[in-house]
Structure 1
Amino acid sequence: MLSEFLRAQDGVITSAQARRAGLSDQSVQRRVRTGRWRRCSKGVYFVDDREFTDAARVRAGVWGYGPTAAASGLTAAWWHGLTQYAPDIVDVTASRTVHGRCHTGTRLRRRDLDPRDVVELRALRVTAKPLTVLESAIVRPGGAKLLDNALQRHVDLRDLWSAQVRNKGRYGSPVARMLLQAAADGARSAAERLLVKLLMKAGITGWKANYPVGRYKVDVGFPEAMLALETDGWAFHSDAEVFQTDRKRQNAIILLGWQILRFTWLDLTVYPDRVITSIRQALRCAASR
């Protein structure tokens, strides 16, 4: 049983687990004295016959705060596979009843989590995906991109809103609410307004908003260049019916001789310079034809 614990838990084990595996407290202390086990924090040990990986570091950091603790923030995002690299500091959320100082290499928030916001993944308590996405998006550079990717692949917008409501008093809650409002059904019209602002700021002229092309209207049209700019919400293609309708509409506009550039909310908020560069290039190409 001891070998199974260590293999499944990246070489990290707690005192309670060691007792379940048949070791006495004296046996554990003897292993620590002889250097076979390394004490990470009170009641948490690492078997020092292997590499101390990021996974081991996260386990030790979370378990050091007791059974109510859970990995959260960017740490939980990495554990869920939402981000590629483990953060240098282990983010932990634990019950308000947890006392004592913050351990080295960790960042602790004392807050009682709703059971719906905690899952056990590979024998470690972590915040559930919706709450993890909300907490990570507000602290990570490019948080909008993380949220956009999560909406497309991992979570539903309704679940994000539910997690937001359950945890509305937490750190960063207002910023998360703004991101969710941008990702809601009205994101398309919000993106249109942002596109217009970018065009005006860049001094690009010759365009008209909601310009009719055939049976349809494009968000922004350049009549002389026959160039249409279209905006999309964040997870617009998660709805198969909407996706099919948009493509049918787009094909009809292209067959009328128009070129179409599509931009998402993510493009407009995170990469505005790239958006303007693409539009200028398309206008130059149209002028040279």
Structure 2
Amino acid sequence: MATPRRPGRMIATCGASIAQQPRTVITPRRSQQGAVATGGGRNRGRSQQEAIATGGDRKQVARFAARDAGGRQPAPVLDELLRRQAGLVAVRQAQAHGVSPRTLQRRAAEAGWERLHPAVYLAAGHRVTDEVRVRAAWLWAGEEATVCGPAAAYWHGMLPTAPDVVDVTLAKSAGVRSRPGVRVRRRALDHADRVGIHDIWVSAVPLTTLETAVALPDGSAFLDRALQRHVRLPTLRRAHSRNLGMRGSAAAGRLLTAAADGAGSAAERLLVRLLRDAAVEGWVLAHPFGPFVVDVAFPAARVAIEVDGWAWHVDVERFATDRRKGNALVAAGWTLLRFTWHDLTGAADRVLAEIRAALTPTIAVSGA
């Protein structure tokens, strides 16, 4: 897969932006003696850290790393990597900064580090948190990988926890297979669907929203919350168009259609169909009540049902009116039931059970 365009909006860390370099970038402080000129015998007294700080080439850095390791002093770059990555370090990262795999593996063995994935270590004293699991999966999969689905939603702050299995996307030609805790998905992502946050690549918010909505049992509710807080419908449609034919795209398309038609009127039609299919009788659609109109009412039983569409459709005025109507119904002795579009599509049996429980015996209910 071609190297993706660097995203324009990135989060800077430790004086360097991931937009400049997707891998971890370390800029240690200079020594108290200041910078030492590069080249010739003037470098003999320099440490690995000084070599990096003063722009030494990779061979020089490697020589100093080997010398530091030979003196049984841990390379300072490892400590910086561990600090920035919640205790994690990959062999390839350390090697890129002049620390040999053997040096890293020796330190891991001596200090009792945990190997979470091949060539990915968690330092002693650090817990395996959700952040650690997601970051470790990406470190193992490599810098061309992209964390996606619910794990990306967690990384964006759209979910409170990460899933047990972290999904990562790689090019079709990548020779990496799924392993415990990591599921590999092979496809090519558009540049617009990939963004760097906190030193790892994740799918951008629109694609993350669609894929998470398809993956979660309450996907429509998740999509509704995302439309309120994180993303707009046209942006979701563009992301869906870029990924047509991908796994889950058909289900995502159905959710987008529902979201576009997710006003209260659509939810009312769902409830009417549900009541008719269940042979529930005695209800009236759009029942007048003082200055208000009840969505569905059972006048003989004094049961009122209010149906809410997708929350992102609701404006402040309508929200306030619905609350005043509900208070007036309760004050007049009515039983008020409220259901959402997500209730009607995802928990129809529970909705019917609650309606039947609220009705009095005078209402004929088939199967009660």
Which of the five TM-score ranges fits, normalised by the shorter chain? 0.7 to 0.9
CA distance, structure 1, for counterparts of residue 97 and residue 360 of structure 2: 72
User: Do structure 1's residue 65 and structure 2's residue 141 form an aligned pair?
Assistant: yes
Which residue among 103, 111, 128 is the counterpart of 2:187?
111
Q: Aligned runs of 1:27-42 on 2, under 5 Å?
A: 27-31=103-107, 34=110
CA contact (8 A) 1:133 1:150 kept: yes
Greater share of helix: 1
Change (3 A) 1:239 1:164: farther
CA distance, structure 2, for counterparts of residue 253 and residue 41 of structure 1: 59
Q: Give the total of aligned pairs.
A: 287
Single out whichever of 33-42 and 200-209 deviates more from structure 2: 33-42
Q: What fraction of aligned residue pairs are identical, expressed as a percent?
A: 47
CA distance, structure 2, for counterparts of residue 188 and residue 275 of structure 1: 16
CA distance, structure 1, for counterparts of residue 296 and residue 272 of structure 2: 8
CA distance, structure 2, for counterparts of residue 162 and residue 138 of structure 1: 17
Q: Aligned runs of 1:217-256 on 2, under 5 Å?
A: 217-236=293-312, 239-247=315-323
CA contact (8 A) 1:69 1:93 kept: yes
SS in 2 for 1:230: strand
CA distance, structure 2, for counterparts of residue 107 and residue 254 of structure 1: 51
| 2:209 aligned partner, one-letter code | V
Query: Unpaired runs of 5+ in structure 2?
Result: 1-76, 364-368
Which residue among 106, 112, 132 is the counterpart of 2:208?
132
Single out whichever of 47-56 and 261-270 deviates more from structure 2: 47-56
After superposition, the C-alpha distances for 1:86-106 in whole angstroms (9 at most, x for unaligned) are 323221112334224333432
CA distance, structure 2, for counterparts of residue 30 and residue 153 of structure 1: 47
The residue that corresponds to 1:172 in the other structure is 248
The residue that corresponds to 1:201 in the other structure is 277
Change (3 A) 1:112 1:285: same
The residue that corresponds to 2:93 in the other structure is 17
After superposition, the C-alpha distances for 1:221-277 in whole angstroms (9 at most, x for unaligned) are 323334332211122465324424544565677788765432111121223233223
Single out whichever of 250-259 and 19-28 deviates more from structure 2: 250-259
Change (3 A) 1:281 1:39: closer
CA contact (8 A) 2:344 2:351 kept: yes
SS in 2 for 1:169: coil
Change (3 A) 1:244 1:159: farther
Change (3 A) 1:272 1:126: same
After superposition, the C-alpha distances for 1:57-116 in whole angstroms (9 at most, x for unaligned) are 322222222212121112223333433443232211123342243334321111222233
The residue that corresponds to 1:77 in the other structure is 153
Change (3 A) 1:45 1:110: same
Instruction: State the shift of 1:3 in Å.
Output: 2.0
User: Do structure 1's residue 271 and structure 2's residue 339 form an aligned pair?
Assistant: no
Calculate the TM-score normalised by the size of structure 2.
0.66
| 1:65 aligned partner, one-letter code | A
After superposition, the C-alpha distances for 1:180-202 in whole angstroms (9 at most, x for unaligned) are 21122444233112211222233
SS in 2 for 1:87: coil
Single out whichever of 207-216 and 90-99 deviates more from structure 2: 207-216
CA contact (8 A) 1:95 1:111 kept: yes
| 1:272 aligned partner, one-letter code | A
CA contact (8 A) 1:207 1:220 kept: yes
Which residue among 196, 205, 222 is the counterpart of 1:146?
222
Change (3 A) 1:20 1:206: same
CA contact (8 A) 2:130 2:161 kept: no
Instruction: State the shift of 1:18 in Å.
Output: 1.9
CA RMSD of aligned residues (A): 3.3
Change (3 A) 1:7 1:272: same
- Rg (Cα) greater in structure: 2
Calculate the TM-score normalised by the size of structure 1.
0.81
| 1:63 aligned partner, one-letter code | L
CA contact (8 A) 2:286 2:295 kept: yes
CA distance, structure 1, for counterparts of residue 173 and residue 353 of structure 2: 54
Change (3 A) 1:53 1:259: closer
Query: Unpaired runs of 5+ in structure 1?
Result: none
